[in-house]
């Protein structure tokens, strides 16, 4: 029988676990906790006070602010984890939160879901107890940046397959879907251009950050007509399942290097192919011609949309189950926990 562990998981303080609307990392943490509990492990969680999980114990941050005093207070609070004597500490939060714990021998895993700050990683390796600190990246794109400076491996993010309904077929006039933060680097304006070029309907969903309001006002809102181009705002999990499942394709016309993009895994779980620009993790997640198409520009994306029926939607679901299920992710992390514990 596999060893039963006490795992302390650290989230960032901004959003509850699981989140109500926005918060991909928090969804991943929630799925991981559920899977670990099903395996019989004991889980402690440090997170936003509104979090509602099946963790055995939940601790709350004193501050959700990312100011210097807030960071110091949160770091001090997390250091109390030592008193609960976990077998391993797994952080999805800021590396700074582990500062007081780094010199201890307890195994620690820092999972990067965003661009890593390499000087911080190098500093953490200098002050951590030998062999006690390991990093993971949510894609090879992230892991390959860390690996020259610290031990690192890739563990892809996941979705719960039970939360997404596979749709083997969609209507002939099924819309294209863009789902994500409405800001320049996510490329909703490109999605509009593609819909116009292909004469397809487009549904845009997602939150508008305060800093991106001008972008929305100037490059998105003027094209919303409620017929071909529709904006429906943020969506909850049920709405997301229906939206992605009824789409002919999910558009990912990014203008940045996407660290992972969990919405791509969500689309695949519904059986919906991805049409994406190359950038960051998209070249790993999108298997060109199998679960979607990788494109260099808007024109290539428009051509891909015209050929979207060449993608078997079952391929998309099968790939999601094989690479991006919460069961697979939890098994990979469990294996890493045991490796770290046995090494120490």
For the stretch 85-138, pLDDT in tens is 899 999 999 898 898 899 999 999 999 999 999 999 999 999 999 999 999 999
- Can you give the residue ranges of every domain in the chain? 6-158+325-343, 161-323
Q: Does the pLDDT at position 1 exceed 50? A: no
| pLDDT tens-digit readout, 211-268 | 999 999 999 999 999 999 999 999 988 999 999 999 999 999 999 999 999 999 999 9
**Of residues 5, 10, 150, the one with CA closest to residue 79:** 10
CATH superfamily membership of 6-158+325-343 = Glycogen Phosphorylase B; (3.40.50.2000)
| pLDDT tens-digit readout, 40-89 | 999 999 988 899 999 998 887 765 666 666 666 667 677 676 667 899 99
**Of residues 175, 178, 9, the one with CA closest to residue 88:** 9
CATH of 161-323, one of 3.20.10.10, 3.40.50.300, 3.40.50.2000, 3.30.460.20: 3.40.50.2000
Q: Rounded to an integer, what distance in angstroms lies between the CA atom of residue 204 and that of residue 236?
A: 14
> Residue 51 class from Cβ within 10 Å (0-12 exposed, 13-18 middle, 19+ buried)?
buried
Q: Rounded to an integer, what distance in angstroms lies between the CA atom of residue 149 and that of residue 195?
A: 43
- Provide CB contacts within 8 A for 328, sequence distance 6+: 156, 158, 322
Q: Rounded to an integer, what distance in angstroms lies between the CA atom of residue 198 and that of residue 72?
A: 52
Q: In a 3-state reduction of DSSP, which class is residue 59?
A: strand
| Dihedral of the alpha carbons of 221, 222, 228, 229, in degrees to the nearest 10 | -20
Read off the pTM: 0.91
Equal CATH topology for 6-158+325-343 and 161-323:
yes
1-4 CB contacts, 8 Å cutoff, 24+ apart: 2/39, 2/334, 2/338, 3/338, 3/341, 4/40, 4/41, 4/42
């Amino acid at each position: 029988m596999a060893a039963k562990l006490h795992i302390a998981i650290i989230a960032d303080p901004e959003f509850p676990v699981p989140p109500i609307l926005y918060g991909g990392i928090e969804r991943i943490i929630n799925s991981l906790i559920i899977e670990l509990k099903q395996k019989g492990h004991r889980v402690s969680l440090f997170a936003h006070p509104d979090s509602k999980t099946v963790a055995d114990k939940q601790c709350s941050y004193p501050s959700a602010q990312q100011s210097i005093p807030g960071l110091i207070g949160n770091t001090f609070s997390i250091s109390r984890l030592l008193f609960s004597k976990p077998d391993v500490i797994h952080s999805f939060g800021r590396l700074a939160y582990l500062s007081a714990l780094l010199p201890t021998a307890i195994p620690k895993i820092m999972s990067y879901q965003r661009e890593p700050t390499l000087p911080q990683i190098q500093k953490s390796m200098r002050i951590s107890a030998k062999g006690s600190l390991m990093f993971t990246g949510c894609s090879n794109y992230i892991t390959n940046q860390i690996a020259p400076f610290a031990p690192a491996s890739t563990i892809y993010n996941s979705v719960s397959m039970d939360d997404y309904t596979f749709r083997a077929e969609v209507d002939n006039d099924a819309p294209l879907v863009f789902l994500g933060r409405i800001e320049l680097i996510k490329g909703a304006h490109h999605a509009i251009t593609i819909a116009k070029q292909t004469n397809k309907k487009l549904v845009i969903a997602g939150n508008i950050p305060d800093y991106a309001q001008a972008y929305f006002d100037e490059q998105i809102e003027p094209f919303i007509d409620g017929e071909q181009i529709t904006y429906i705002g943020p969506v909850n999990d049920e709405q997301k399942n229906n939206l992605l499942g009824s789409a002919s394709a999910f558009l990912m016309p990014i203008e940045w290097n996407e660290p992972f993009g969990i919405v791509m895994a969500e689309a695949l779980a519904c059986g919906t192919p991805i049409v994406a620009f190359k950038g960051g993790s998209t070249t790993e997640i999108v298997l060109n011609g199998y679960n979607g198409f990788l494109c260099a520009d808007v024109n290539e994306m428009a051509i891909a949309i015209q050929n979207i029926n060449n993608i078997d939607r079952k391929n998309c679901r099968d790939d999601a189950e094989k690479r991006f299920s919460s069961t697979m992710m939890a098994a990979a992390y469990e294996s890493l926990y045991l490796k770290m514990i046995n090494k120490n």
